[in-house]
Amino acid sequence: MSKQSPLRPSDPIDRLANARISGCLRSTDLVERALDHAEALRSAGSHALTRLWRDEALAAARYEDRLSERGVLLPSLLAGLPIVVKDNCDVRGDITQAGSASLANAQPAQRDADCVAQLRAAGAVIIGKSNMSEFAFANTGENRVFGTPRNPRDPSRLAGGSSSGAAAAVADGSVVAALGSDTGGSIRGPAALCGLVGFKTSEGRISTDGVVPLSTTIDTVGPIARSVKCCAVMDAVLAKQPWRPLPEFSLHGVSLGVLQNFVLDELDQPVASAFENALRVLQDAGATLTEFSWDELNRRDWREVFSKISYSDIYASHGRFAEENAQSIGPEVVDIMLTGRSILPQDRAEALTFRRKIVLGAHDVMSRFHAVVMPTVPVVAPLLSALSDLEHAKKVENMIGRNNEPGNFFDCCAATIPCQAVGELPVGFMMMAKNGEDRRVLAIANAVEEVFRTRGLG
């Protein structure tokens, strides 16, 4: 009889949790495998992680094992499992660098960010911090300080950003899940490009206290993992909700709005083909697909207002710091930080009022369907060489974020799951609904994921 392979961080969270509950898996063994794997990848040139805490992680794992040996019930399915958190999240005793050399000598955090504290309370073992674009400002994931993470699905390509290292660490098998942030697609973009599941939570669902801000108005935090169920486990912990399995959800009669304008422009052919095939699969599974146009997306004013709100938030949070530390911050990041300097308080107030009004209309549109669907990113993962040409890099930056930004501006929750055929570059399929529909979006995404898997997609 062949010996069964040991469980690894690349296994599903529920399988690992069940193995811990039954006594077949020690947290110490799993975390040590995670650390060994991550360290080997770092030695080979991976830039997914900026910090790796072997001693602290193993101590936390041993503590979880002692609790299990005493018969203490697991506080969550995450208990004893290795994760990483994005380097814009405060971790008690560590410097929060947000991917920037300018914060290398900052004071260590005195307390965990709220989201990190929730993960610790759930028993998750934080093995390190994941790389990111400097101050979370780039969709490409480029980082000139710690190195730009490569896409584990094809190391000649970008992982996407700004939660680049979070997606890379999950995709390369180092951890069961990662904590990211999303203000303009920074969870969904990297997840889609790396063939993973990413969940952008509703504004206000999860506390951002202790997370270095991009836009205090629009920032959200959420998970990247290998499956919808794994993201749902993370989401429940982060949202301070008791774990409830996602409801069984038949796609028969589920109404999906297929957005026709804006999000389907300039699709890479592999993306167009994968998305069209995914729609056929869902229709065969009984879903009702309704093509529609969302006229607001073709208006320039929402994007201008999005920029006005974001840039004014950024300047309020980082403007003075950028003026005093410009020499240690990337010049394009400094430019972004200072753009909001010219935005008057009255203009910002008018922008916020405009957003509140247009969001109500958008939610009315989305309420016609159980979810609105679209390709998560209109292109496949760009080659690393795209960063060497300034104009090409700008195009890539815009394309990675384009389809995700409406979900942020119009205050939605959204999940991306892979939908490409086996052997193809990853393509993300996004499901989106209005604020507060998080559990429903996860349940629909879980059902869609099951259908895709039976058809060999993802």
The catalytic residue positions are 86, 162, 186
Which one-letter amino acid corresponds to residue 155? Answer: P
| Bridge partners for 259 per DSSP | 292
At 49, which helix (H) or strand (E)?
Answer: strand 49-52
Q: Which two three-digit tokens encode residue 95?
A: 């410097």
Cα distances (Å, whole numbers) of residue 18 to 80, 166, 225, 304: 12, 25, 18, 49
At 182, which helix (H) or strand (E)?
Answer: strand 177-182
Which one-letter amino acid corresponds to residue 304? Answer: E
Tally DSSP H helices, then E strands, for the chain: 14, 13
Buried b (16+ CB within 10 A) or exposed e, 238-264: bbeeeeeebeebebeebebbbbeebbb
The DSSP symbol for 101 reads G
Cα distance between residue 428 and residue 262, in whole Å: 16
At 150, which helix (H) or strand (E)?
Answer: strand 150-151
**Phi, psi (degrees; rounded to nearest 5) at 230:** -65, -40
SS3 track for 385-436: HHHHCHHHHHHHHHHHHHCCHHHHHCCEEEEEEECCECCCCCCEEEEEEECC
Q: Which two three-digit tokens encode residue 230?
A: 């794994």
78: Cβ–Cβ under 8 A, 6 or more apart, which residues?
A: 13, 17, 119, 122, 123, 124, 176, 177, 233, 234, 237
Cα distance between residue 107 and residue 275, in whole Å: 46
Cα pseudo-dihedral 434, 440, 444, 445, rounded to 10 = 70
154 three-class SS? strand
CA nearest to 390, candidates 449, 331, 308, 447? 331
Buried b (16+ CB within 10 A) or exposed e, 414-452: bbbbbbbeeebbbbbbbbbbbbebbbbbbbbbbbbbbbb
Cα distance between residue 383 and residue 136, in whole Å: 20
